[in-house]
Amino acid sequence: ETFPACSLAVVAEQFTPNTTSDVAAGMLIPHTTPGTPIHVQKQWFKETFTYLFAISNSVEAAEAGTHFVSGWQVFKSTPKEELPFWSDVVLGFRPMSEAELQKFPQHSCGQAFTTLKCDCPPYLLWLEKRLKAKGVQMYTRKVANLWELQSEYNIVVNCAGIGAHQLVGDQKLFPVRGQVLKVHAPWVKNFIRDGDGLTYIYPGIHSVTLGGTREKESWSLSPNPNTTKDIFDRCCALEPSLQRAQDIKVKVGLRPSRACVRLQREILSQGGAKLLVVHNYGHGSGGFSMHRGTAKEAAHLVGECIAALQDFSSRAKL
């Protein structure tokens, strides 16, 4: 969209439904990361929210799998941060009333708001369809080293998620394993998030996501049956009607975590040849919440790469 004169290809080892993004609940509810200034995180969230608001408010919404969802974030004790940085981006953020809190006898306070959610795989399939309609080629291939792309491409945008640990040897990137359940419980219409972020119930178009776990440095993609029971029990304690949920599927994903998203330009060179790289990975728990904002910044960095390429070629002609 930003550089219509460029031709684009997507190279990935796995496409939807086999990516980390397919495991996610897809809720727009940011996590704060220490390595990025809050105003930047807010900007990324706001751009993503505005973008998905427009899709959710259009005829595309059903196919794109994006929708508004209202609900509650509940706390057992008063949270340190009374007003999260994103409170004026989501809609209608307010403290819960005493009457609402009666639904949560274990909790003493809470926040009510409306946010947006992406259902995956539909959202990823919709994005793929839009790319293909523009003539973008999709190649299934594992890349061992970015340099192997140098003979075919001028610029590589590295969006490898947790795969960047091996692909570019980023030791600052680590997995935070998450196990969730996707269940059929169409009567659950409101989201519920325990303020510690460990237990959540996120209703989507096709299923309700029940979470979760946050296991730092665990690379295991195998579901743990004890964890499944634990997640189910925790969610039923918040929403007793889930006892009747059916068709329980267990999913595991590795959040690509880092002190900050790596949004950076790099020039690789070997024997006079160059490959321009834009890194855009390390979204941790916030890949959906921030994807449009970080993509916009990555596109800006691609613009800088295009200018650099033009500069190299005009210097080569001198």
For strands 262-270 and 200-203, give the pairing.
unpaired
Binder of residue 193, out of ligand AKG, ligand FAD, none (CB less than 5 to 8 A by kind): ligand AKG
CB of 311 to ligand FAD, least distance (A): 29
Question: Where do we find the tokens 């792309």?
Answer: 149
| Nearest CA among 106, 143, 109, 49 for reference residue 234 | 106
143 marked as part of a ligand binding site: yes
Residue 100 backbone zone (phi > 0: left; psi -120 to 50: alpha; other: beta) = alpha
Which residues in 177-206 contact ligand AKG (CB under 6 A)?
A: 178, 193, 197, 200
- Which helix (DSSP H) or strand (DSSP E) does residue 100 occupy? helix 98-101
CB of 161 to ligand AKG, least distance (A): 13
Report the distance separating Cα 173 and Cα 289, nearest Å: 19
Residue from 84, 110, 161, 195 touching ligand FAD (CB under 6 A): that is: 161
Q: Interface with ligand AKG includes 285 (CB under 6 A)?
A: yes
Q: Interface with ligand FAD includes 212 (CB under 6 A)?
A: yes
CB of 95 to ligand FAD, least distance (A): 23
Is 17 buried (19+), middle (13-18) or exposed (0-12) by CB count in 10 A? middle
Is 21 buried (19+), middle (13-18) or exposed (0-12) by CB count in 10 A? buried
Q: One-letter amino acid identity for 47?
A: E
What residues contact residue 203 under an 8 Å CB cut-off, 6+ apart? 69, 185, 188, 189, 190, 191
Binder of residue 200, out of ligand FAD, ligand AKG, none (CB less than 5 to 8 A by kind): ligand AKG
CB of 26 to ligand FAD, least distance (A): 5
CB of 86 to ligand FAD, least distance (A): 12
Instruction: Dig out the tokens for 9 from the structure.
Output: 């290809």
Q: One-letter amino acid identity for 233?
A: D
CB-CB contact of 62 with 114 (8 Å): no
Binder of residue 143, out of ligand FAD, ligand AKG, none (CB less than 5 to 8 A by kind): ligand FAD
Instruction: Dig out the tokens for 101 from the structure.
Output: 């809190």
Instruction: Dig out the tokens for 182 from the structure.
Output: 């996707």
Question: Where do we find the tokens 């990555």?
Answer: 298
Instruction: Dig out the tokens for 80 from the structure.
Output: 């340190």
241 marked as part of a ligand binding site: no
Residue from 107, 255, 262, 279 touching ligand FAD (CB under 6 A): that is: 255
Which residues in 266-285 contact ligand FAD (CB under 6 A)?
A: 281, 283-285
Q: Interface with ligand FAD includes 256 (CB under 6 A)?
A: yes
Is 32 buried (19+), middle (13-18) or exposed (0-12) by CB count in 10 A? middle
200 marked as part of a ligand binding site: yes
Binder of residue 253, out of ligand AKG, ligand FAD, none (CB less than 5 to 8 A by kind): ligand FAD
CB of 284 to ligand FAD, least distance (A): 6
CB of 178 to ligand AKG, least distance (A): 5
Report the distance separating Cα 211 and Cα 194, nearest Å: 10
Q: Extract the annotated binding site.
A: 20-21, 143, 200, 255
Contact residues for ligand AKG, defined by CB under 6 A? 25, 27, 29, 178, 193, 197, 200, 211-212, 255, 285
Q: Extract the annotated binding site for D-dopa.
A: 200, 255
Contact residues for ligand FAD, defined by CB under 6 A? 11-14, 19-21, 23-27, 142-143, 159-163, 167, 178, 180, 212, 253, 255-256, 281, 283-289
Q: Extract the annotated binding site for FAD.
A: 20-21, 143
